[in-house]
Structure 1
Amino acid sequence: MKKVQYRSGNKDDLFQLQKLFVESILNICSKDYTEAQIKKWASGSKDEKRWEEIISQQLVIVAESNQSIIGFGTLDRQNCIDLLYVSSKYLRLGIAKQICLRLEKDAIDRDVKKLVSHVSITARPFFESLGFDLVRENLIKRDDVEFKNYTFEKNL
């Protein structure tokens, strides 16, 4: 693998971000969620309005290798790490950690005191390893499908 480069995301990245979102959910989260949950979660890639808002209103950090996006994370205006996804082909290489450190640096530079994230079962150990604290377990309902996730916080 060539060197991983990190940069700010832009509207030209939208298709690759949506594709990576689906690939990551399908290939990484299936051990923690049912087929129905995975299908509903991945269908979020089709919400064009939401993705346009992500690109235009959130800080988006992308990780690239060989001119392909292999990971991305976003920080919304409420200082919530909204999205964090890495390709299943590039796990455990420190990519998600580097993205989170860049999001955290932006928050610190803006004098933010706390980051929040709503974290999947799959991502829970990762966020714990970065010093985030569990606040609560959540049961989220999308249409007729329920999901468990967790709210985490980290004081900066």
Structure 2
Amino acid sequence: MENVRYRIGNIHDLFQLQELFIESITNVCNKDYTDAQIKKWASGSEDEKRWEEIINQQLVILAEFNQTIIGFGTLDRQNCIDLLYVSSKYLRLGIAKQIYYRLEEFALNRKAKKLISHVSITAKPFFESLGFVMISENVIKRDDVKFTNYTVEKNI
């Protein structure tokens, strides 16, 4: 997609990142998860400490179009892709793939041999298309709500 700008995120982007997180979960993952699961997952946007840690301790790559963040991904210090979300309005345009390539390039530059991620049912086919393989299926419990996700990894 033309006119998309990719850049490193900063503390000033935090509100837009949280809003995109909610929008993407609500509108993209709703075929794979129940309403209760979606609500609990999206409530993660309210954990201010976690989001400040993400912005301050992880590489955050974001995609902007018309000065609006339309996607973002993060890479932590252990070469784990912690978050990768794209707005439901910009799916299947290569945004997530471009964000991923930038995260992978950064990992390669710091001599990483492998990337790992914990991905949703919705995101699993995308990661597999990039060469990730499933290591495990996980059941995560947040309060009284259970979620299925997958640990995937890729040698780089």
What TM bracket, shorter-length normalisation? Answer: over 0.9
**Cross-structure match for 1:7:** 7
- The offset of 1:148, in angstroms, is 0.1
**Cross-structure match for 1:144:** 144
The residue identity in structure 2 corresponding to 1:101 is Y
Count of residue correspondences: 156
The residue identity in structure 1 corresponding to 2:24 is S
Q: Could you list the per-position Cα deviations for residues 11-41 of structure 1 after superposition, in whole angstroms to 9, with x for gaps in the alignment?
A: 0000000000000000000100000000000
**Cross-structure match for 1:27:** 27
Gaps of 5+ in 1: none
**Which stretches of structure 1, 4 residues or longer, exceed 4 Å deviation after superposition?**
none
Instruction: Say whether 1:55 aligns with 2:55.
Output: yes
Sequence identity percentage: 77
Q: TM-score, normalised by structure 1?
A: 0.99
Alignment of 1:58-137 (within 5 A): 58-137=58-137
Gaps of 5+ in 2: none
| SS of the residue 1:42 aligns to | helix
Distance 1:55 1:107 in 2: 17
- The offset of 1:80, in angstroms, is 0.3
Q: TM-score, normalised by structure 2?
A: 0.99
